[in-house]
Amino acid sequence: MNGPAMTRRRISIFGATGSIGGNTLDLIGRDRGAFDVVALTGGHNVARLAQLARDFDAEIAVTAHEDCLPALRDHLSGSTVACAAGAAAIVEAAARPADWVMSAIVGHAGLAPGMEALKQGRTLALANKESLVTAGPLLLATARAHGATILPVDSEHSAVFQALIGEDIAAVERIIITASGGAFRDWPLERMARATLADASSHPNWAMGQRITIDSASLFNKALELIETHEFFGISPSRIEPLVHPESMIHAMVGFVDGALMAHVGPPDMRHAIGFALNWPERRTLPVARLDFAALGQFTFRAPDEIRYPALRLSREVMQAGGMAGAVFNGAKERALDAFIGGEIGFLDMAHVVEETLARLTGDSLVHATMTLDTVAQTDHLARIAAGEAIRARHTKGQA
Ligand code: NAD
Ligand code: MG
């Protein structure tokens, strides 16, 4: 499709059955002759995982859940695709030789396979923002030590990365990260308090997995992205500004000391950021819509309201605290999100649970321990337990 045939590149996709995984396979499917698919991983949806593994002739399909292995094996019978199950098998799959690895598992579970790929010196396309939030310094140090490359895939971070090509990071004055404002951007607080799971699960502009969609409505997604920006680009928190831009066409802007501002503009289609990482350091044709500015007419902006969205304030506290505050923040957020999805707490309770958990664990020795994969996992576990207690306390209070 794109010029003369090159040697085929070996590709693995962690989280292949998800939204980012599907978009990645869409791109690979358009240029099948250029790629050999090594490992594809998924969760409970083993029928889909097996179908993708057959369609793309993968070496191995791995489900995160050991009890799903018999079903996965059934779905793959008669094919040449190997199968395996469990978190350790996913990490093992990340050790298989590959040129390019997509990290698109949702949540903390994405960290360990991404770290393994970096230890093998691979190019890691990083959609899993939780990796940078919970273990940024560890991730970057591992990449450096093993000569691996991390390419950001979150649309805002891909945008910043692109705006920085050929630039000196020392000349950066500020980074503006845009936010659509999510599902409730025009809702009054009282109504947000009563928001249902269905309300929070539809995004005005982007089609994404359920968890990030709900995180977009609470702006926890943006909070994670501010931390992600700080960790990946090494920019101080005071220079990172969130900005509500309801059209989601400008993904980020980088301001330089001379007053210039480089904006990355494009339709809300993750295949741009994924394709940029897939083709890097080249640019190649991608199947994303081209914008007609005259038809669009205008772009609008407003300051984010931190009373409605306490996640933004909390993210700054996390950046100031450093260490493993990010792992506490993310673990508590994931537990609070489970509780909202499970109907245990209301939409606005999520931020309270995260704030209480952060406050409770600030002095904990684990939060100040040396950052390793193990201490991050322990901190994540501790945060979930503390958040669970905060959730139960709210529940009891609510019923009294
Ligand atoms: P999704 O829910 O659509 O897919 C998640 C994938 O992870 C699935 O393949 C699922 O089977 C797998 N998974 C879930 N739990 C797992 C576990 N415990 N162990 C192993 N695998 C597990 O999610 P998504 O929207 O594709 O997002 C994936 C990641 O990319 C997230 O970190 C998200 O924040 C980030 N991201 C997504 C988008 C987007 O447009 N969807 C944009 C930017 C960043
Ligand atoms: Mg994003």
pLDDT of the chain, 400 residues: tens digit per residue? 455 556 999 999 999 999 999 999 999 999 999 999 999 999 999 999 999 999 999 999 999 999 999 999 999 999 999 999 999 999 999 999 999 999 999 999 999 999 999 999 999 999 999 999 999 999 999 999 999 999 999 999 999 999 999 999 999 999 999 999 988 999 999 999 999 999 999 998 989 999 999 999 999 999 999 999 999 999 999 999 999 999 999 999 999 999 999 999 999 999 999 999 999 999 999 999 999 999 999 999 999 999 999 999 999 999 999 999 999 999 999 999 999 999 999 999 999 999 999 999 999 999 999 999 999 999 999 999 999 999 999 877 766 5
Report the distance separating Cα 262 and Cα 390, nearest Å. Answer: 43
Please, is 363 exposed, middle or buried when counting C-beta atoms within 10 Å of its C-beta (0-12, 13-18, 19+)? Answer: exposed
First vs last Cα of the chain: how many Å apart? 65
Q: Are 373 and 111 in contact (CB under 8 A)?
A: yes
Q: Are 286 and 275 in contact (CB under 8 A)?
A: yes
Rounded distance from Cα 386 to ligand 2 centre (Å)? 27
Query: Is the C-beta atom of 272 inside 6 A of ligand 1?
Result: no
pTM: 0.97
Q: What is the pLDDT of residue 396?
A: 78
Q: How far is CA 157 from CA 106, 163, 184, 301, in A?
A: 17, 10, 24, 19
Q: What is the pLDDT of residue 119?
A: 98
Report the distance separating Cα 215 and Cα 206, nearest Å. Answer: 12
The 8-class DSSP code of residue 77 comes to T
Minimum-distance ligand 1 atom for the alpha carbon of 15: 9
107 dihedral zone (left: phi>0; alpha: psi -120 to 50; beta): left
Which residues contact residue 333 at a Cβ distance below 8 angstroms, ignoring those fewer than 6 apart? 215, 220, 224, 311, 350, 354
Residue 73 φ/ψ, nearest 5 degrees: -60, -45
Minimum-distance ligand 1 atom for the alpha carbon of 155: 43
For a mutational test of ligand 1's pocket, the pick from 17, 24, 45, 105, i.e. the residue with the most ligand atoms closer than 8 A to its C-beta, is: 105
Neighbours of ion ligand 2 (CB under 5 A): 154-156
Q: What is the pLDDT of residue 395?
A: 79
Find residue 61's DSSP bridge partners: 40, 83
Report the distance separating Cα 61 and Cα 51, nearest Å. Answer: 10
Rounded distance from Cα 69 to ligand 1 centre (Å)? 20
Rounded distance from Cα 247 to ligand 2 centre (Å)? 14
Rounded distance from Cα 112 to ligand 1 centre (Å)? 14
Which residues contact residue 285 at a Cβ distance below 8 angstroms, ignoring those fewer than 6 apart? 1, 2
